[in-house]
Structure 1
């Protein structure tokens, strides 16, 4: 984050986090309060270390982090992570077509387990499949590595598919309340008819008409292998976004020793700050991974089935149509070795 970006951020959240002076003591300035919060998000240091660095109390650090994270989310979310309109979804689809050669794609969806300290008397609710305690960050990412939707706080024991089904985004997606663009014809493949706009995910998600997952199994036809490659190529945007997030905000490299509620605030703050930094366009740190033509190292050749996902016939037909398109009209030169 550059000085200009910090000043911009302070101008947005400063009035929200400012405190009044009292007879007993002068209030901590908004700039210092923001620095304390960002110091925790960037390093993940314990409260005592941060308190010693800024010469404030440990309880003061704890209160500041919660208040400032909430203020960052409230002040930035409307501008940097608004609810997409139909025009926004269409622009996202155009971005995936131009940059990732995947038509009618509205975003890449995946879940990230954020490791936390085991909450008291929580039983096994937060224990995930890696025997760690975590909360789930479910995100939809566009072609430019921007978070378009996040849902934070699901129990770590839940699968990505279960988290999607239980979150508001998943319910709206299932009920058709997201104001998505209508079915349309892909240019150059008019004979396929109108195809729906879809999200792409890995094998942890269910197959739906508007949510595509890879073909399961190892002994696949060439057409299905090509589809899995093209889908995994588009799905890399969410993996890259998570990588950028963990690289920039080092609290993700440690176990977060906060309550689940405060950890949720910190995760939401880092997600919206991720968008803020990328949109303002002055960041010069780590660059996301961008696949160029001929780079097949990140291809998922053999995807195994992790569970039973019974899909409707319409969803199966949509996936088969996309598979046929990627091996014919939508083929790209560098998929020949798949």
Structure 2
């Protein structure tokens, strides 16, 4: 993290994590609390490991991390904003075309397993196909790798498609209440093309979600169609 970004974040959370000084001892400063939390989030070190570099008891570290994370969420939650009307979605699509030569793309969606320690009594509920225990972070990012939507907490056994269908975003996508623009003509050779989110093979193919053919079962005519669509997209990108 750049020094300027760290200083800005520290200024935002200080009033929420600062502790009152007592006659018995000095409180742990906001700077120590924030740097400790960021180190934990970035490295994945255990509280036991962190006690040696911070000289803070593991039990105290656990409380600090939770309190500081809650403060970070509170001050930064408004930085993640999902476009809510056609003009905002078209602005995202314009960036994808300019930066990645992909017209009518409004976001990229995928899931990420976040490894966790197995919760007591949870059995295999959080056990995933990678042989780890995890929860899943589902996210949509724009052309600049900035988050547009984040949903986290579903157990690691679920598939990306299953997690996606549990999000509020999916509900709004199905009800067509997100303000995504209707299909528009890119050029005479292309016809009307919908605005789409790009995803991998784990997601459903819908009007507003584009995914590749499954290469494991790809047929000869589908290979031809896949290549033709790719060339067509390149042609459309010229306009």
TM-score by length of 2: 0.89
| Larger strand percent | 2
Aligned to 2:125: 125
Structure 1 contact 127–157 (Cα < 8 Å) conserved? yes
Whole-angstrom distance in 1 between the partners of 2:89 and 2:77: 17
Q: What SS is found at the alignment partner of 2:110?
A: strand
Whole-angstrom distance in 2 between the partners of 1:117 and 1:225: 44
Whole-angstrom distance in 1 between the partners of 2:82 and 2:47: 34
Alpha-carbon deviation of 1:157? 0.9
Q: Deviations over 1:199-233 (max 9, x none)?
A: 11111011111111112333333331464xx6xxx
Structure 2 contact 92–107 (Cα < 8 Å) conserved? yes
Structure 2 contact 141–147 (Cα < 8 Å) conserved? yes
Q: What SS is found at the alignment partner of 1:158?
A: coil
Map 1:8-87 onto structure 2 (within 5 A). Answer: 8-78=8-78, 80-86=79-85, 87=87
Alpha-carbon deviation of 1:49? 2.5
Aligned to 1:181: 181
Q: Deviations over 1:220-248 (max 9, x none)?
A: 33331464xx6xxxxxxxxxxxxxxxxxx
Structure 1 contact 325–331 (Cα < 8 Å) conserved? no
Aligned to 1:221: 223
Structure 2 contact 190–236 (Cα < 8 Å) conserved? no
Alpha-carbon deviation of 1:192? 4.3
Aligned to 1:195: 193
Whole-angstrom distance in 1 between the partners of 2:159 and 2:228: 27
Whole-angstrom distance in 1 between the partners of 2:46 and 2:223: 52
Q: Spell out structure 1 runs of 4+ moving beyond 4 A.
A: none
Structure 1 contact 111–139 (Cα < 8 Å) conserved? yes
Q: What SS is found at the alignment partner of 1:172?
A: helix
Aligned to 1:312: none
Q: Between Structure 1 and Structure 2, how many residues are aligned?
A: 234
CA RMSD of aligned residues (A): 2.1
Q: Deviations over 1:66-98 (max 9, x none)?
A: 1111211210121x2123232332211011111
Q: Deviations over 1:231-269 (max 9, x none)?
A: xxxxxxxxxxxxxxxxxxxxxxxxxxxxxxxxxxxxxxx
Residues 331 and 84 from structure 1, CA distance in 2 versus in 1: closer, same or farther, beyond 3 angstroms? closer
Whole-angstrom distance in 2 between the partners of 1:98 and 1:223: 26
Question: Are 2:203 and 1:205 equivalent residues in the alignment?
Answer: yes
Whole-angstrom distance in 1 between the partners of 2:129 and 2:210: 24
Residues 159 and 198 from structure 1, CA distance in 2 versus in 1: closer, same or farther, beyond 3 angstroms? same
Q: What SS is found at the alignment partner of 1:178?
A: coil
Unaligned residue ranges in structure 1 (runs of 5+): 231-323, 333-338
Whole-angstrom distance in 2 between the partners of 1:77 and 1:135: 20
Alpha-carbon deviation of 1:171? 1.4
Question: Are 2:12 and 1:105 equivalent residues in the alignment?
Answer: no
Residues 3 and 130 from structure 1, CA distance in 2 versus in 1: closer, same or farther, beyond 3 angstroms? closer
Q: Deviations over 1:100-153 (max 9, x none)?
A: 221111111111112222211112221112222111111111111112111111
Aligned to 1:162: 162
Whole-angstrom distance in 2 between the partners of 1:29 and 1:82: 31
Whole-angstrom distance in 1 between the partners of 2:181 and 2:19: 45
Q: What SS is found at the alignment partner of 1:166?
A: coil
Unaligned residue ranges in structure 2 (runs of 5+): none
Structure 1 contact 226–327 (Cα < 8 Å) conserved? no
Whole-angstrom distance in 2 between the partners of 1:102 and 1:64: 44
Q: What SS is found at the alignment partner of 2:130?
A: coil
